[in-house]
Amino acid sequence: MISKIKKIAVLTSGGDAPGMNAAIRSVVRTCAFYNIECIGVYRGYQGMIDADFKEMNARSVNNIINKGGTILKTARSEEFRTVEGRKKAYDNLIKNGIDSFVVIGGDGSFTGALVFNKEFNFPVIGIPGTIDNDIFGTNYTLGYDTALNTVVDVIDKIRDTASSHNRLFFVEVMGRDVGYIALNAGVGAGAEEILIPEEDLGIDRMLESLKKSRKSGKTSSIVVVAEGDKTGRNVFELADYVEQNLPNYEVRVSVLGHMQRGGSPSCFDRVLASRMGVKAVETLMEGKSNFMAGIKDNKICLTPLDLAVKGKTKINQELIRVSDIMTT
């Protein structure tokens, strides 16, 4: 493939996610395969502003496919939100002969890329990297599968102690705006109730359901709550509410927090990252810009970056129904 693109920068931005390193590796190795120079940018857009660059070759990414986090570090840059910040970043890219970049991150990172492209007509491609799975135009974002497995693994452990003590556990998982982790990990771990930001199932419905399950002979229960669930109460307030209204329940709370973002990526995330990285570089080589490399029906595909940001993902209603039936 003959391409005008000579030097691609790669950066990770926003919250880290398992699989980001595998995606960096893929971008770097694809560049090496096509004899394109590749520059790693440290600390996301902030590193562009500070010219925190490092030349990367195929050997710079040895032994990172299995590593969580991101070797390039990440940041949420306030300065990049300003015209002056973006101008500094542009000047640094030009000074270093960089003619395009691949950003691995979530919707905030993509919005930054779009603004930058509009101002400087600079070619950009996005790779969706976030454990939240909340990006339109892809069935999966990098890190989501790993995070699900981490959460299920932890809830399995919580279930052991919940069942030994006949307790009810509220487990808070990540997801400020979306409930993919809560719903899927909840079903996978056999949670009795799942509270998500997309649907208000009603707190009294939960009480009824807990009462019913106690009556039917269940001695312990797990309720999975997404950070931003619709009841408007945090997980501790929910626990208090249940203790006040169902005094025969002994309640405990576990907030899983940032451990959900760490750890070695699953095989699924590694393969996905490898495929997306190749697609991102080849798309730039074809002279295209402002796309996100995603996956739909197991096919790597492109979605316009603005659609990836603006489009709304939908929670799977069938899964909600399955969860309801499973709690019988």
The residues annotated as belonging to the active site are 132
CB atoms within 10 A of CB 5: 19
- Return d(Cα 305, Cα 290) in angstroms, integer: 5
Task: Give the binding range for ligand F6P (CB under 6 A) out of 111-119, 170-178, 276-284, 310-318.
Answer: 170-178
301 CB-contact burial (10 Å; exposed 0-12 / middle 13-18 / buried 19+): middle
Residue 15 lies near ligand F6P (rule: CB under 6 A):
yes
Residue 70 lies near ligand F6P (rule: CB under 6 A):
no
Paired tokens of 201: 């199932």
Residue 227 lies near ligand F6P (rule: CB under 6 A):
yes
Q: Site map for ligand F6P, 232-261, x if CB under 6 A?
A: -----------------------------x
- Return d(Cα 20, Cα 197) in angstroms, integer: 26
Min dist CB 176 to ligand F6P, Å, is 4
Residue 105 lies near ligand F6P (rule: CB under 6 A):
no
The phi and psi torsions of 277 (rounded to 5 degrees) equal -65, -45
- Return d(Cα 280, Cα 288) in angstroms, integer: 10
Residue 43 lies near ligand F6P (rule: CB under 6 A):
no
Residue 124 lies near ligand F6P (rule: CB under 6 A):
no
In this structure, the chain runs to a length of: 328
Task: Give the binding range for ligand F6P (CB under 6 A) out of 172-180, 188-196, 213-221, 315-323.
Answer: 172-180
Min dist CB 131 to ligand F6P, Å, is 6
Min dist CB 39 to ligand F6P, Å, is 26
- Return d(Cα 163, Cα 297) in angstroms, integer: 39
Q: Binding residue for ligand F6P (CB under 6 A) from 99, 132, 172, 229?
A: 132
**H helices of 58-199, where?**
83-95, 107-120, 144-165, 180-188
Residues that bind ligand F6P (CB under 6 A): 15, 106, 130-132, 174-176, 227, 261
